[in-house]
Every structure is written in C-alpha cells, then in structure tokens.
C-alpha cells in the first residue's frame, strides 16, 4: 500500500480530491464509492470547488455509498443519506438516478443487499473507493472479525463504534445497533482505494492496518492485498508508523506527475 503523509488534513483532502478528479476526467462515466464520517469532508469540499471553478463534471458519474444505518429515516440528520447529500451530492451534478445508498429501511434486507451488489456490478464496478477508518480499524461498517471476503450485508456495530458515532446522535442510546455495509470483498474489487485518516485518535488503527499483519481483527489491513490502494494521512495519524520517514522520502522524491500536483 502506498502511504502518503501530508502536512495536515487540508492538504491531504486536496490531494485525494485531485486523485478523484483525475479519475473523473479520464473516465467521465466513472463509478465512485463514497464514504461518510468527518474524515472525507475536506475531499468533498475540494471536489465541490473543482466542480464550481474548473467545471469538473459529474453528469455521467455514478456513486455508491459504503453504508447506512438500519431503521433510521433517510431524513434523520445522522443518516448517511442526509450526510452525503448535505456534504457533497447537493453541490455537484451527479444525476439522482445514478446515486446509490444502501436502503436501511428495506423490508427484506438480504434482498436489498443482493440488489446493491448487482447494481455495483451492472455499473461496471467501482473505479475509486473513498474510505475513512474507524478507531477499531473498520472500513465502511465492517467491524473487526468481518470476513475479508464479505459482500454487502447487515452488520452489528460494536459498542466502541456506537460510542464514537454518538456525537452525531442524541447520546449513545440513539445510535442504531445495525447497519448495512458493503463488504470487504466488495471494497477489494474497487480498481483504486483511497483511505484517509487524520488525527492522533487514528494512529493506532493506521499502524495496525498499514504495517501490522493482515487480519480480520483489523479490517482495513485487507487493503495490503489491494493492487492499487493509497493511504493519505496527516502527521498525527502517521506518528506510530515504523516506516514514516521512508514514506515521506519516497513521496518527496517522486516525479511531479506521480505526486498528482
Ligand atoms: C463511520 C463510517 C466509516 C468511517 C468512520 C470514521 O463508522 N461508517 O465509513 O470511516 O465512521 O469516521 P470519522 O471519519 O468521522 O472518524
């Protein structure tokens, strides 16, 4: 996995946005895998700016969100339907019929999950999957012990994740225990994965995922098997990486076209 250590979350978000924009410019009908959480906010803001100022066009783009809470009305402010619209989709020109978000209100959840996988396949697969990382190493809502071959399905959140996400709800009681998430196998099928992580609170998950053994106990470690995965982190999230100075040196000495400047 390529590890890129940026000065701060702002420059990391901008770099990630440039990588996503390159994919969209090369392939106007690109399929984007979208993540929620506070981490990708700068990336979305930078893409919105590029749409406004540089006419970055999303009119042929298709999007698939990673996950959604089960049983939460889509209009709830903490639903990932609300989140992705407010923070990204309401500000760019992805046609509504090309936007896909798991249906946490489906009567038949296994059928909805199978349909979601089929829709990803019908769209030609995900070109670039944007990812954050949970403090416990989860990607999407694939909690520790998730099968590394998993597909879209219902999952139960750990108490740690419910506690971490309580800030978006009225206290921990309000955080649903169940979610729909695309699987680790689904994520691994994406042609490129971009994992972002910022802040001291992510340092342990980052070192385990990037430099530890590949294990279902750290779902993000599966990305070590991905042929085109990049982790874009800030200094605080990188501060436990054994090879941090090697990653820094490597990136600084790349030709500028490889640095996506
Ligand atoms: C949630 C999401 C993940 C996200 C994680 C980290 O659990 N399902 O996709 O990566 O939160 O969130 P944050 O970026 O707010 O730290």
Give the least confident one: 66-70, 99-103, 172-176, 254-258. 172-176
How remote is the CA of residue 205 from the centroid of ligand 1, in Å? 12
Q: Are 4 and 33 in contact (CB under 8 A)?
A: no
Q: Which two tokens stand for residue 209?
A: 């995922």
Cβ density class 219-256: b for 16+ within 10 Å, e for less? bbbbbeebeebbbbbbbbbbebbeebeebbeebeeeee
Span 154-207, pLDDT tens digits: 999 999 999 989 988 876 558 999 999 999 999 999 999 999 999 999 999 999
pLDDT at 260: 76
Q: Which residues are catalytic?
A: 67, 136, 138, 143
Higher local confidence (pLDDT), 132 or 254:
132
How remote is the CA of residue 255 from the centroid of ligand 1, in Å? 32
How remote is the CA of residue 36 from the centroid of ligand 1, in Å? 6
Q: Does the model's pTM come out above 0.75?
A: yes
Average pLDDT of the chain? 96
42 lines ligand 1 (CB under 6 A): no
User: Per-residue pLDDT for 212 more than 70?
Assistant: yes
Mutate to test the pocket of ligand 1, among 37, 157, 164, 195 (most ligand atoms within 8 A of CB): 37
Span 117-163, pLDDT tens digits: 999 999 999 999 999 999 999 999 999 999 999 999 999 999 999 99
Mutate to test the pocket of ligand 1, among 72, 101, 138 (most ligand atoms within 8 A of CB): 138
83 lines ligand 1 (CB under 6 A): no
Name the pLDDT band for 258 (thresholds 50, 70, 90): confident
pLDDT at 256: 82
User: Per-residue pLDDT for 96 more than 90?
Assistant: yes
Mean pLDDT, residues 14-27: 98
142 lines ligand 1 (CB under 6 A): no
Give dist(CA 114, CA 152) in Å, integer.
Answer: 7
Span 227-238, pLDDT tens digits: 999 999 999 999
pLDDT at 171: 62
133 lines ligand 1 (CB under 6 A): yes
Q: Which two tokens stand for residue 229?
A: 């995965």
Q: Which two tokens stand for residue 130?
A: 């944007």
39 lines ligand 1 (CB under 6 A): yes
How remote is the CA of residue 165 from the centroid of ligand 1, in Å? 8
User: Per-residue pLDDT for 61 more than 70?
Assistant: yes
67 lines ligand 1 (CB under 6 A): yes
Closest by alpha carbon to 180, among 120, 121, 106?
Answer: 106
pLDDT at 259: 79
User: Per-residue pLDDT for 80 more than 90?
Assistant: yes
Instruction: Give the end-to-end CA distance of the chain in Å, rounded to a whole number.
Output: 20
Q: Which atom of ligand 1 is nearest to the CA of 202?
A: 16
Mean pLDDT, residues 214-237: 98
3-state secondary structure of 251: helix
132 lines ligand 1 (CB under 6 A): yes
């Amino acid at each position: 996995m390529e590890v890129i250590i940026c000065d701060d979350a702002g420059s990391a978000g901008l770099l990630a946005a440039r990588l996503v924009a390159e994919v969209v410019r090369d392939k106007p009908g690109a399929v984007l895998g979208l993540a929620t959480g506070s981490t990708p906010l700068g990336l979305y803001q930078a893409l919105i700016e590029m749409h406004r100022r540089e006419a970055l066009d999303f009119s042929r783009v298709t999007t698939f969100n990673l996950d959604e809470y089960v049983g939460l009305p889509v209009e709830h402010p903490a639903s990932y339907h609300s989140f992705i619209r407010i923070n990204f989709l309401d500000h760019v020109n992805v046609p509504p019929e090309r936007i896909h978000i798991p249906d946490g209100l489906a009567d038949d959840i296994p059928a909805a999950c199978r349909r979601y996988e089929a829709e990803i396949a019908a769209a030609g697969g995900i070109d670039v999957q944007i990812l954050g990382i949970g403090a416990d190493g989860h990607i999407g809502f694939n909690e520790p012990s998730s099968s590394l071959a998993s597909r879209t399905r219902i999952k139960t959140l750990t108490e740690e994740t419910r506690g971490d996400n309580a800030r978006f709800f009225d206290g921990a009681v309000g955080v649903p225990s169940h979610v729909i998430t695309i699987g680790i196998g689904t994520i691994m099928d994406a042609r490129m994965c971009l994992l972002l992580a910022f802040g001291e609170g992510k340092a342990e998950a980052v070192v385990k995922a990037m430099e530890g053994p590949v294990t279902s106990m750290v779902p993000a470690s599966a990305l070590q098997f991905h042929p085109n995965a990049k982790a874009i982190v800030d200094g605080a999230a990188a501060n436990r990486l054994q090879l941090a100075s090697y990653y820094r040196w490597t990136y600084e000495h790349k030709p500028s076209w490889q640095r996506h400047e």
